[in-house]
Amino acid sequence: MLTITVVDHNISTYAVATYSDQLEYKVILLIVDGR
């Protein structure tokens, strides 16, 4: 499982709290880049 924490709503930045699989990590990167 992975946890996403919202840092700032204004800039829509997300921080990865925990990640175990590369696939999940890629998804997070896509979300952050897809702002």
Contact partners, residue 18, CB within 8 Å, separation at least 6: 1, 2, 3
CA dihedral 12, 21, 3, 5 (to 10 degrees): -30
The pLDDT tens digits along the chain (35 residues) read 556 665 555 544 454 544 556 666 666 666 666 55
| Among 7, 3, 2, residue whose Cα is nearest residue 21 | 2
The predicted structure's pLDDT at residue 11: 46
**19 residue type, one letter:** Y
The beta strand positions in 1-35, using DSSP E, are: 3-8, 13-18
Stated pTM of the model: 0.24
